[in-house]
Chains A and B, each alone.
Chain A
């Protein structure tokens, strides 16, 4: 049960990092378009944000898992063994996870900058920061028992991610 709980909270932390990261991409693309053509409306911003969270978020989740899984699977038992309880360490684990994921995917596996918000140093730094916060989130949750409320909320979020992209697609046609 502890192992199952560990993985559920690790997936949640990864999803948390992805959800924080998706709007970074929206910000950079909209910022460029706004400076170039100066015609971005509030509706465009809302549509882009929602679209990125629901369509781009799941891709980021899969990419970030590449870093989060090994880092936390190896790191968490080590921290327990050495009795290190600093939440900052988990934050650094999260930061390293995002760093490793982006490096592997963009430089080694694909060779192009597929994570659209990370094409500038500032954008990259923001992505790393989301990993840091995800690490903190993991540290604050992974020892908690799974409550019915938590399970219900998780199911609702998963369903939302299945339905929302289809709704957005319909609206954008």
Chain B
């Protein structure tokens, strides 16, 4: 009997091992170190714009990792806590108009917007557009300033992506201390925003005709959304939970994603935020992580180099120090954990024009790694 059990056990182990693939990457470090790199955007096959949180925008060679030039004319940012220069994206017609869009946190002392705090300045999330002419930003215009004034430099969101109609989707985080505001439509805490590239509000936004609602709001009840991908006009986002409750969502107009009324989490301190995980009128995530991995950047992979990973979502993780590969099969999410032993806090993940995977690590002294088959 024991022998039969042993054989069965080893057979199960053997069969399981056939489904566990181990992938071999070539990992190449691109250049030396960077100062809190946050995001990048390829301006051609070999060059990318890199945003660094202290407020630097640099053009870097993918091949050598060397600085080609630093971009002048970046506005003053608030580099503190989680704040600073954040996402940078190219206009869909960048090759013609050289226009870029970027998000950042900055102080805002506009009358009536001061938050009373002795120690920290009132600040919020900004999104600006500008033309990259030579090595200088021209025609800088602030197209969005979040009505989400806070003193704690935390939870800005700050991701930007384009829908096919040319409108911009922006993530605006809950500011940490203002989590309940994510449930109310009179502010931009914990909201996904949709605006036109000139900053105006599209007339078909879900709350344009609703009293006491800000017209830029596209969806609400979010926390700190750090990953954003739009594919075939479907908006995918991931957001940090506190302890547990990181989420991967499909975002639809006008919907409430529940934070902080529902959550698969407790607060960092261990305090209960809510006893509820679901509620009528509030959306459930496609998947959630408990314990947290702190999902950061996200990209949808084309399959150019790693053929078997076509249409996979890659999510970089900060505290999890992993690269998560997600696949969607008729609404169900399957996850594969990659780079388990890489031991780096991953800030963002991108695909290079040739189909390799590019990873940004977090913090001052952050690095860029290129993964190729």
Assess whether B152 is in contact with A111, with CB atoms less than 8 Å apart: yes
Residue B212 at the chain A interface, CB threshold 8 Å = no
Q: How far is it, in angstroms, between the C-alpha of A131 and the C-alpha of B182 when the chains are bound?
A: 32
| Residues of the B chain whose Cβ atoms lie less than 8 Å from the Cβ of A112 | 152, 154, 176-177
Q: How far is it, in angstroms, between the C-alpha of A60 and the C-alpha of B267 when the chains are bound?
A: 13
Residue B269 at the chain A interface, CB threshold 8 Å = yes
Q: Helix, strand, loop or mixed for chain A's interface?
A: helix
| Residues of the A chain whose Cβ atoms lie less than 8 Å from the Cβ of B112 | none
Assess whether A39 is in contact with B279, with CB atoms less than 8 Å apart: yes
Q: Which residue of B153, B177, B271, B279 is within 8 Å of A52 (Cβ)? A: B271
Q: How far is it, in angstroms, between the C-alpha of A117 and the C-alpha of B269 when the chains are bound?
A: 11
CB proximity of A163 to chain B, nearest CB, Å: 16
Assess whether B272 is in contact with A113, with CB atoms less than 8 Å apart: no
Give the nearest-CB partner of B273 in chain A. Answer: A29
Whether A51 touches B261, Cβ cut-off 8 Å, given contacts A36-B183, A113-B152, is no
| Residues of the B chain whose Cβ atoms lie less than 8 Å from the Cβ of A73 | none
Chain A, 53-69, contact with B by CB distance < 8 Å: what is the 0/1 string? 00110111000000000
Assess whether B272 is in contact with A56, with CB atoms less than 8 Å apart: yes
Q: How far is it, in angstroms, between the C-alpha of A111 and the C-alpha of B150 when the chains are bound?
A: 11
Q: How far is it, in angstroms, between the C-alpha of A25 and the C-alpha of B267 when the chains are bound?
A: 11
Residue A159 at the chain B interface, CB threshold 8 Å = no
| Residues of the A chain whose Cβ atoms lie less than 8 Å from the Cβ of B269 | 56, 59-60, 114-116
Give the nearest-CB partner of A30 in chain B. Answer: B275
Assess whether B154 is in contact with A111, with CB atoms less than 8 Å apart: yes
Residue A166 at the chain B interface, CB threshold 8 Å = no
The number of residues on chain B lying at the interface, defined by a beta carbon within 8 Å of a beta carbon of chain A, is 23
Residue B120 at the chain A interface, CB threshold 8 Å = yes
Assess whether A111 is in contact with B153, with CB atoms less than 8 Å apart: yes
Q: Which residue of B81, B272, B279 is within 8 Å of A26 (Cβ)? A: B272
| Residues of the A chain whose Cβ atoms lie less than 8 Å from the Cβ of B271 | 22, 25-26, 29, 52, 55-56, 59, 116-117
Assess whether A40 is in contact with B154, with CB atoms less than 8 Å apart: no
Residue A170 at the chain B interface, CB threshold 8 Å = no
Chain A, 76-100, contact with B by CB distance < 8 Å: what is the 0/1 string? 0000000000000000000000000
Q: How far is it, in angstroms, between the C-alpha of A39 and the C-alpha of B177 when the chains are bound?
A: 24
Assess whether A55 is in contact with B274, with CB atoms less than 8 Å apart: no
Q: Which residue of A29, A111, A117 is within 8 Å of B120 (Cβ)? A: A111
The number of residues on chain A lying at the interface, defined by a beta carbon within 8 Å of a beta carbon of chain B, is 30
Assess whether B272 is in contact with A51, with CB atoms less than 8 Å apart: yes
Q: Which residue of B81, B119, B183, B267 is within 8 Å of A116 (Cβ)? A: B267
CB proximity of B267 to chain A, nearest CB, Å: 6
Residue B270 at the chain A interface, CB threshold 8 Å = yes
Q: Which residue of B120, B153, B273, B279 is within 8 Å of A37 (Cβ)? A: B279
Q: How far is it, in angstroms, between the C-alpha of A29 and the C-alpha of B119 when the chains are bound?
A: 26
Residue B140 at the chain A interface, CB threshold 8 Å = no
Q: Which residue of A39, A40, A55 is within 8 Å of B270 (Cβ)? A: A55
Assess whether B279 is in contact with A48, with CB atoms less than 8 Å apart: no
CB proximity of B157 to chain A, nearest CB, Å: 16
Whether A59 touches B270, Cβ cut-off 8 Å, given contacts A33-B261, A44-B275, A47-B275, is yes
Assess whether A40 is in contact with B275, with CB atoms less than 8 Å apart: yes
Chain B, 277-288, contact with A by CB distance < 8 Å: what is the 0/1 string? 001000000000
| Residues of the A chain whose Cβ atoms lie less than 8 Å from the Cβ of B120 | 111
Residue B69 at the chain A interface, CB threshold 8 Å = no
| Residues of the A chain whose Cβ atoms lie less than 8 Å from the Cβ of B266 | 51, 55-56
Chain B, 234-274, contact with A by CB distance < 8 Å: what is the 0/1 string? 00000000000000000000000000010000111111111
CB proximity of B183 to chain A, nearest CB, Å: 6
CB proximity of A39 to chain B, nearest CB, Å: 7
Assess whether A114 is in contact with B279, with CB atoms less than 8 Å apart: no
Assess whether A114 is in contact with B272, with CB atoms less than 8 Å apart: no
| Residues of the B chain whose Cβ atoms lie less than 8 Å from the Cβ of A113 | 152, 176-177
Q: Can you list the 4 inter-chain pairs with the closest CB atoms, starting with the nearest? A: A55-B270, A56-B271, A44-B275, A56-B270
Beyond A37-B261, A112-B154, 18 extra complex contacts between A and B, CB < 8 Å: A22-B271, A26-B272, A29-B273, A36-B180, A40-B275, A44-B275, A48-B272, A48-B275, A52-B271, A60-B269, A111-B152, A111-B153, A113-B152, A113-B176, A113-B177, A114-B268, A116-B269, A117-B271
A sample of 21 inter-chain contacts (CB < 8 A) reads: A26-B271, A29-B272, A33-B275, A52-B272, A55-B270, A55-B271, A56-B271, A60-B269, A107-B119, A111-B81, A111-B120, A111-B154, A112-B152, A112-B154, A112-B176, A112-B177, A113-B176, A114-B267, A116-B269, A116-B273, A117-B271
